[in-house]
Amino acid sequence: MKMIVARDYEELSKKAADKIVQVIENKPNAVLGLATGSTPVGMYKQLVAYNKDKLVDFSYVTTFNLDEYLGIPAEHPQSYQYFMKDNLFNHINIDQSKTHVPNGMAEDIELECKTYDEMIRAHGGIDIQVLGIGNNGHIGFNEPDDELIVGTHVTSLTQDTIKANARFFDSMDEVPTKAITMGLGDIMKAKEIILIASGEAKADIISKLLAGKIDTQVPASLLQVHPNVTVIVDEVAAKLIK
Among 102, 104, 132, 183, binds ligand PGA (CB under 6 A): 132
Residue ranges in 133-172 that form contacts with ligand PGA under rule CB under 6 A: 133-134
In the complex, minimum distance from the CB of residue 149 to ligand PGA, in angstroms, rounded to a whole number: 17
Residue ranges in 25-54 that form contacts with ligand PGA under rule CB under 6 A: 37-39
228 annotated active-site: no
In the complex, minimum distance from the CB of residue 6 to ligand PGA, in angstroms, rounded to a whole number: 15
In the complex, minimum distance from the CB of residue 84 to ligand PGA, in angstroms, rounded to a whole number: 14
138 annotated active-site: yes
Which of residues 94 and 196 has its CB atom nearest to ligand PGA in the complex?
A: 196
Question: Using H for helix, E for strand and C for coil, what is the string for the chain?
Answer: CEEEEECCHHHHHHHHHHHHHHHHHHCCCCEEEECCCCCCHHHHHHHHHHHHCCCCCCCCCEEEECEEECCCCCCCCCCHHHHHHHHCHHHCCCCHHHEECCCCCCCCHHHHHHHHHHHHHHCCCCCEEEECCCCCCCECCECCCCCCCCCCEEEECCHHHHHHHHHHCCCHHHCCCEEEECCHHHHHCCCEEEEEECCHHHHHHHHHHCCCCCCCCCHHHHHHHCCCEEEEEECCCCCCCC
221 part of the interface to ligand PGA, by CB under 6 A: no
Q: Which residues are catalytic?
A: 67, 136, 138, 143
* Residue numbers at the binding site for ligand PGA (CB under 6 A): 37-39, 132-134
